[in-house]
Amino acid sequence: MTATISVCLCTYKRPQLLDTLSSLQAQRLPPGVAMEISIADNDAQGSAKALVDRFRRSVTFKVLYEVQPEKNISCARNTTVKNASGDWLAFIDDDEIAEPDWLASLLACAQAHDADVVLGAVQIHYPPQTPEWILEGDYFRKFTPPTGTVMNVGSTCNALVNRRVLPDPEAPFDIRFGITGGGDTQFFNRMHRSGAKIVACREARVSETVEENRLNRDYLMRKATRIGETYAVIFFSALPLPARVWHCTRAAAQAAVAGSLALVCGPLSARRSFRYLMKMRANWGKVRFFINTPPVEIYK
């Protein structure tokens, strides 16, 4: 087939960016498939420009770069899409390393399953100083269903999207999620609700090393709360009042049950107890949405 894949990449003061770009340079593309990279620097000072300029001089494909001064991950993602020209848009984070056949595997899966969107796998690595309790619980692990599984949500950390199914051709990401996070979840769900076919692909792999400042209880609890809030925004916002009341009551009850189980499991299994605490916070996040509490701001 003949196609162009635009790799959409947002960055913000990440020293790992060069490693990500180098892994993209090493991609083994199928015959007839071309690649370009569309970068949005969310640092108003343009701190990545010099690095990107050096990288651009070392490659033969197009590398687009624009500073998005407003600190908002959704605005940055929209900038990458706006500047991209490809038939397919691939998304990767600026702290990830793509395997050499990453793009080829995503595209092959899209063809094999007649899919509009493909979600790849992320392998998590932990730095040497990671606390033992995090290693034992593996709380940052990202599960990918078997290849071909149909999905209704996803993440931009590893994805391929056919341009024709974008919810908006130039600004598909909702800027209301720009500080809280969760905008990519809503992005994929909007495409699903519009009829796009989204499938998983375990063969399309990237790897990521968890940042040190996230290796703590507070970050995990805040993220769990935000996940619950995002879930409620996406799936409950349009419901009539009686249904919203029912879901709020249900989430509150589930939070109470999870909290109780965390207490019971505490003396027996710290790992299981903490997982119940995360479930409690996720359900509490849903309740926070219903009672109109200001959302957790992950990207602030």
What's the whole-number mean pLDDT along residues 271-297? 95
What's the whole-number mean pLDDT along residues 142-150? 97
Contact 16, 95 (CB under 8 A): yes
What pLDDT is stored for residue 15 in this prediction? 85
Rounded to two decimals, the pTM is 0.94
Per CATH, the number for 3-212 is 3.90.550.10
What pLDDT is stored for residue 162 in this prediction? 98
pLDDT(1) > 80: no
pLDDT digits (tens, 9 = 90+) for 158-198: 999 999 999 998 899 999 999 999 999 999 999 999 999 99
What pLDDT is stored for residue 90 in this prediction? 99
What pLDDT is stored for residue 50 in this prediction? 97
Report the relative pairing of strands 96-98 and 198-209 from DSSP bridges.
antiparallel
pLDDT(212) > 90: yes
pLDDT(284) > 90: yes
HEC secondary structure over the chain: CCEEEEEEEEECCCCCHHHHHHHHHCCCCCCCEEEEEEEEECCCCCCCHHHHHHHHHCCCCCEEEEECCCCCHHHHHHHHHHHCCCCEEEEECCCEEECCCHHHHHHHHHHHCCCCEEEEEEEEECCCCCCHHHHHHCCCCCCCCCCCCECCCCCCCEEEEEHHHCCCCCCCCCHHHCCCCCHHHHHHHHHHHCCCCEEEEEEEEEEEECCHHHCCHHHHHHHHHHHHHHHHHHHHCCCCHHHHHHHHHHHHHHHHHHHHHHHHHCCCCHHHHHHHHHHHHHHHHHHHHHCCCCCCCCCC
Sorting pLDDT into bands at 50, 70 and 90, what band is 126?
A: very high
pLDDT(8) > 90: yes
Residue written as tokens 């909007």?
190
pLDDT digits (tens, 9 = 90+) for 74-90: 999 999 999 999 999 99
What is the chain's Cα-based Rg?
A: 20
Structure-block tokens of residue 230: 């995002």
What pLDDT is stored for residue 115 in this prediction? 99
Burial degree of 268 (CB within 10 A; 0-12, 13-18, 19+) = exposed
Q: How high does pLDDT run on average in the chain?
A: 96
Type of residue numbered 135: L
List all residues 6 or more positions away from 266 whose beta carbon is below 8 Å from its beta carbon: 273
- Residues in a beta bridge with 36: 6
Structure-block tokens of residue 170: 């130039």
What pLDDT is stored for residue 77 in this prediction? 98
Sorting pLDDT into bands at 50, 70 and 90, what band is 290?
A: very high
What's the whole-number mean pLDDT along residues 221-235? 95
pLDDT(300) > 80: no
pLDDT(44) > 80: yes
Listed residue (120, 112, 57) closest to 91, CA to CA: 120
